[in-house]
Structure 1
């Protein structure tokens, strides 16, 4: 691998001590696991690879992956936990027990003021087909690919209001020029 990353002020070469580090997952807090799991499994085709419950602290973690042909997920719970924490690009949905029954409960999505967290992103093989799929499944849009200044990029919302960017990599070659 000869690519050493784009260079900007503040960028330093990776240290030997960070060898083997990888981004494993992003965590989103969810109000109702049944609704959130239905959304991510139905609309995005993700699978729950591990659920961990923490009864004393009253919360559950659901780790979702977009599994591909050839992925070998262990059947044994302990081995699957180790496998889960060694993957790239998982989505962790954290449910604090009881929030699903609180009518006025909602998490901050990061895009309302004050802004903070912005979004997660899915790359799709065909943006037009993905848009048709989202339309057929009544997915709420923040922005369609033909709207705004940034064309060929869509933003949808999940059931908790978190933004999800949708891109087709092949359409983005000139992005930022």
Structure 2
């Protein structure tokens, strides 16, 4: 029998109606798309799959991911849009036009009071090499792997101050109960 998920109070069995549902993307609001895109494409190696502009509402959506090597991504815009919304692990960056020119404008990162949203997470093949890469690219650290009570977990900030957890999957074995 295959793994069916851990059981905890409140967990319910999936229904037939939810068959095929999957998490597609997480959205972060960004002040300056040029800075945010430079960060995610350079530091984390993501690719922009699709940009959608909504002129009447004055905002743009940028969908980023790390496609697997050799993965076939449609060239035609409409096909690529549909393909993008069928993926897992997509990051949507939402830019409300004009925020990039407002010096005192910033989004709440969710970690300052009042707390709410916490972070997104990337797994990397080598945590020490990732830390060195972040240092070389002047990425701001919240916490390094050897700091705090939770060792082997890194937190950095993106261009808008959102926290990004960075882990090496093999180092996570044995954490918690």
TM-score normalised to the size of structure 2? 0.99
Q: SS of the counterpart of 1:57?
A: coil
Structure-2 residue corresponding to 1:89: 89
* Cα distance, 1:4 vs structure 2: 0.7
CA distance in 2, matches of 1:70, 1:137: 27
Match of 2:58 in 1: 58
Which structure 1 residue ranges, 4+ long, deviate > 4 Å from structure 2? none
What is residue 32 of structure 1 aligned with on the other side?
A: 32
Equivalent residue, structure 1, for 2:49: 49
Structure 2 spans left out of the alignment, 5+ residues: none
| Whole-angstrom distance in 2 between the partners of 1:85 and 1:67 | 13
Once the two structures are superposed, what CA deviation does each residue of 1:83-123 show, in whole Å capped at 9, x if it has no partner? 00000010000000000000000000000000000000000
Aligned equivalent of 1:159: 159
State the partner residue of 1:137: 137
Give the Cα–Cα distance (whole angstroms) in 2 for the partners of residues 69 and 43 of structure 1. Answer: 18
Cα distance in 2 between the residues matched to 1:155 and 1:176: 18
Deviations 1:9-35 (A, max 9, x none): 100011111111010000000000000
SS in structure 2 opposite 1:56?
A: coil
The Cα shift of 1:70 comes to 2.2
- Bigger drift between 69-78 and 21-30 goes to 69-78
Look up the SS of the partner of 2:80 in the other structure: helix
Partner-residue secondary structure (3-state), 1:108: coil
Q: Tell me how far 1:68 sits from its aligned partner.
A: 1.4
TM-superposed deviation, 1:143: 0.2
Q: What is the alpha-carbon root mean square deviation over aligned residues?
A: 0.7
Alpha-carbon distance between aligned partners in 1 of 2:118 and 2:32, rounded to the nearest angstrom: 21
1:127-176: per-residue Cα shift (whole Å, max 9, x none)?
Answer: 00000000000000000000000000000000100000000000011110
- Structure 1: 5+ residue stretches without partners: none
Alignment length (residue pairs): 177
String of CA shifts for 1:34-85, please: whole Å, max 9, x gaps.
0000000000000000000000000000000111112111000000000000
